[in-house]
Amino acid sequence: MTLIELESLSVSGIWALANPVDKKIFISYSNNILSSLSRNISEILDNSHSCRQLIPDYNKLELMILETPIPSNQLKVKSGHYMDHYKDNGWSLYNANPPVKYTVKTLIAKDCKAHVVLVNKRNDKLVVGVFDTIHEADEFTSSAYPNNTVTTIIYSQNSLSKEFLRKKV
């Protein structure tokens, strides 16, 4: 890589160290890929990387930039999507921690509005839409999250949602 190409990695995104010989992959995300990659390679070279399996495989690893740029609030969800994608295609993950996965739920809140909420296994909730009716919430969910699959966080752009999210900030 040239210096200019390396500088182009000073962006947010998803990157991977892939071992195509053994079909194993380490997927990570960062607000600055270059910094994260540099830290990870240094840790592999000095035998201090938390993912011990990467160390003996160092000479088999290839850098892959999976997606850039990505907003900070999307990094975890998108990295989980890529982990699932590679696992579904027969790759093993070096990563010890499972990806963050969200499910889509519609809840009736105290304000009597239908809230479309993303919920993960730790029960963290993220409101992505507020609607007057369940029907409106279902329409948003089916268009933004087909098959209730969350690969990116999409917020409703209706006035109720914007007002709710503005108050939350």
Q: According to the model, what pLDDT value does residue 169 have?
A: 56
* Residue 135, in any domain of the structure: yes
Mean pLDDT confidence for 52-74: 94
Specify whether 110 is located in the same domain as 55: no
How far is residue 119's CA from residue 74's CA, in Å, rounded to a whole number?
A: 14
Specify whether 164 is located in the same domain as 122: yes
Domain that holds residue 46: 3-71
Specify whether 61 is located in the same domain as 114: no
Please check whether residue 142 is in contact with residue 150, taking contact to mean a CB–CB distance below 8 angstroms. no
Specify whether 63 is located in the same domain as 10: yes
Specify whether 67 is located in the same domain as 127: no
The residue written with tokens 């939350």 in the block is: 168
Domain count, the chain: 2
Mean pLDDT confidence for 122-132: 92
**47-59 pLDDT tens trace:** 999 999 999 999 9
CATH number where 44 lies: 3.40.1440.10
For residue 79, the Cα-to-chain-centroid distance in whole angstroms is 3
* Residue 96, in any domain of the structure: no
Specify whether 10 is located in the same domain as 67: yes
Give this prediction's pTM.
0.74
Structure-model confidence comparison of residues 73 and 163, the more confident one: 163
* Residue 132, in any domain of the structure: yes
